Amino acid sequence: MSKKTKATLTKAEKPMSREEQLERENERLRLEVAYLKKLKAFRENPDAFLEKHKQQSPLNSKKKGSD
């Protein structure tokens, strides 16, 4: 078994402290709230949401003539 696999197993087997459990739950809840806010914004106005969050294609982001 490799060192990386052993380290993963021992870390997974180690029980989390109450503080660690609460920190993990807190982070999960933060992510959930952020997701729900985005979902609400999308439902209220899908076109504006999509325009605001449009991702540029890597091909489009290169400036022409910058060689």
> Is the model's pLDDT at 23 over the cut of 70?
yes
> Is the model's pLDDT at 21 over the cut of 80?
yes
Report the predicted TM-score, pTM, of the whole model to 2 decimal places. 0.53
DSSP state letters, 10-45: HHHHSPPPHHHHHHHHHHHHHHHHHHHHHHHHHHH-
> Is the model's pLDDT at 58 over the cut of 70?
no
> Is the model's pLDDT at 32 over the cut of 80?
yes
**What number of CA atoms fall less than 13 Å from residue 6's CA on the CB side?**
3
In the numeric block, which tokens belong to residue 8?
């993963």
pLDDT value at residue 6: 60
